[in-house]
């Protein structure tokens, strides 16, 4: 069979071969069909031939128009290059006052101040961020617990606002915090600089405290609940968003977690699977689960939300 | 001489690979896939690459390693060959994709 093979990559898996191309289209072929594909022995009636053709990995006619289509899809996929990066995550410290079981960054102890970003580095970070041609710049502070290095957070925000007097971009800030250290003074400052807050709620009190115990063993759930109310009082009802992370012992509790979010006055939820980094990777023997388990429970969670809305 | 010649002795394996058939990059890429099972050393002797494998534990089947290495080498050489074959098309795609932007 006469056909043109277009740019592709391949990787052999256990029982088959994975092929992908420049635009992220992909096909799985049996080993036998992969050999036929390489040696140009696939036939136009073969299912594999049709799959490869529909994904623009091979072409048997109008090759110019197929290349044109590939170019259009490539342009769409790489469209972010026209404006370049708009979201910038700044890790101002790796220290944290929580001992979350799944901590992605393998947080450092409160005394390890060498893991704080210095103002010298922060200045360079800001300069780099404003090199982006994007008209929108969002700076998200992460950690560790960023409020442990709040001086650097303030420095970056004030510097960014100064740069933006000249750059005139749509500039916004988010701080990802466990909320436990937030107080009225910090909130007043955040309000003045229009900083949004993202936090973590892992569900009802028992689950949350199990996943996200504080360094000093105090009850993190009660503190977070109280601080959410304080944030809303200072910054407005929609100023705080939250997400959760799912270790193995949480996976069957999505309904209770959704109920908890509703009780806390949130109108959105992010049911997030475990990321295989940091402590989650180190302790995967007790925290991890097959992704199929997550998907199954995620679907149940969606159905539960749909029923609630209806 | 064959494209790959095999010598096995206790926990060691030597593969002599004809550099006229397989490129150095293909041999390096293929070798990397086996570094979790064997300690590997590569030398160029005349026209042949000599790839020395020493098993990291007694469960490693060097006969099987030799067979799998042959297949992996073919895959790696196909990747290199297709990379060269598609170089012009890939460049054309990028040019075409961003043509309207660069005008």
Q: What secondary structure does DSSP assign to B36-52, as a single string? A: TTEEEEEEEETTEEEEE
Q: Does B32 touch chain A (CB under 8 A)?
A: no
Is B98 within 8 Å of A75 when comparing Cβ atoms? yes
Choose, out of B29, B83, B93, B96, the residue to mutate when testing the contact with A (most A CBs < 10 Å): B93
Per-domain residue ranges of chain B: 4-102
Share of chain A above pLDDT 90, in %: 87
Contacts of B16 (CB under 8 A, 6+ apart): B4, B5, B7, B45, B48, B49, B50, B51
Return d(Cα B89, Cα B95) in angstroms, integer. Answer: 10
Q: Does B91 touch chain A (CB under 8 A)?
A: no
What is the pLDDT at residue B103? 45
Which residues sit opposite B39 in a β-bridge?
A: B54
What is the pLDDT at residue A158? 98
What is the pLDDT at residue A1? 60
| Residue whose token pair is 């012992």 | A249
What is the pLDDT at residue B7? 84
Is B92 within 8 Å of A12 when comparing Cβ atoms? no
Which residues of chain A does B102 touch, with a Cβ-Cβ cutoff of 8 Å?
none
Q: Consecutive sets of 10 residues in chain A, 310 residues long: mean pLDDT of each?
A: 90 94 95 94 94 94 89 88 88 96 92 95 96 94 96 98 96 97 97 96 94 87 95 93 94 95 94 92 93 95 94
Is A7 within 8 Å of B93 when comparing Cβ atoms? yes
Q: Say how many CB pairs under 8 Å bridge A and B.
A: 37
Is A71 within 8 Å of B93 when comparing Cβ atoms? yes
Q: Consecutive sets of 10 residues in chain B, 103 residues long: mean pLDDT of each?
A: 80 94 96 95 96 93 94 95 93 86 51
Q: Any idea which architecture B4-102 has in CATH?
A: 2-Layer Sandwich (3.30)
What is the pLDDT at residue B101? 58
Is B89 within 8 Å of A6 when comparing Cβ atoms? yes
Query: What are the structure tokens assigned to A33, written together?
Result: 């069909």
* Structural domains of chain A, ranges and CATH numbers in brackets: 4-77 (no CATH), 80-309 (3.20.20.70)
Sign of the dihedral through C-alpha A107, A110, A111, A113: positive
Return d(Cα A156, Cα A96) in angstroms, integer. Answer: 20
Tell me which residue in A7, A72, A78 faces B89 most closely, judged by beta carbons. A7
In this prediction the ipTM stands at 0.82
What is the pLDDT at residue A78? 87
């Amino acid at each position: 069979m006469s056909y043109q093979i277009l740019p592709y990559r391949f990787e052999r898996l256990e029982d088959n071969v994975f092929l992908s191309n420049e635009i992220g289209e992909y096909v799985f072929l049996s080993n036998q069909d992969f050999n036929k594909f390489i040696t140009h022995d696939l036939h136009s009636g073969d299912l594999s031939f049709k799959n490869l053709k529909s994904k623009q990995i091979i072409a048997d006619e109008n090759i110019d128009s197929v290349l044109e289509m590939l170019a259009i899809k490539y342009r769409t996929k790489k469209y972010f290059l026209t404006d370049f990066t708009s979201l910038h995550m700044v890790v101002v410290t790796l220290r944290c006052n929580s001992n979350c079981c799944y901590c992605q960054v393998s947080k450092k102890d409160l005394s390890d101040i060498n893991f704080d970003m210095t103002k010298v580095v922060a200045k360079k970070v800001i300069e780099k961020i404003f090199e982006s041609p994007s008209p929108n710049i969002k700076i998200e502070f992460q950690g560790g617990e960023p409020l442990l290095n709040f001086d650097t957070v303030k420095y970056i925000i004030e510097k960014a606002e100064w740069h933006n007097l000249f750059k005139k971009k749509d500039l916004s800030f988010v701080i990802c915090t466990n909320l436990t250290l937030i107080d009225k003074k910090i909130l007043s400052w955040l309000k003045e600089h229009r900083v949004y807050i993202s936090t973590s709620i892992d569900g009802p009190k028992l689950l949350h405290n199990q996943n996200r115990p504080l360094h000093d063993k105090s009850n993190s759930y009660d503190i977070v609940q109280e601080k959410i109310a304080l944030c809303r009082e200072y910054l407005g009802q929609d100023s705080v968003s939250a997400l959760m992370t799912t270790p193995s012992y949480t996976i069957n509790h999505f309904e209770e977690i959704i109920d908890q979010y509703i009780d806390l006055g949130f109108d959105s939820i992010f049911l997030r699977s475990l990321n295989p980094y940091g402590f989650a990777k180190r302790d995967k023997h007790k925290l991890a689960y097959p992704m199929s388990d997550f998907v199954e429970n995620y679907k149940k969670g969606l159905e539960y939300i749909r029923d609630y809305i209806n | 001489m064959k494209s790959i010649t095999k010598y096995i002795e206790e926990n060691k394996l030597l593969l002599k690979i004809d550099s006229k058939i397989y490129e150095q990059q293909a041999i390096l890429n293929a070798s990397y896939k086996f570094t979790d099972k064997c300690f590997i050393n590569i030398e160029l002797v005349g026209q042949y690459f000599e790839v020395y494998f020493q098993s990291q534990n007694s469960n490693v089947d060097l006969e099987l390693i030799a067979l799998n290495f042959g297949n992996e080498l073919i895959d790696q050489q196909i990747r290199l060959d297709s990379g060269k074959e598609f170089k012009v098309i890939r460049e054309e795609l990028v040019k075409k994709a961003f043509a309207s932007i660069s005008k």
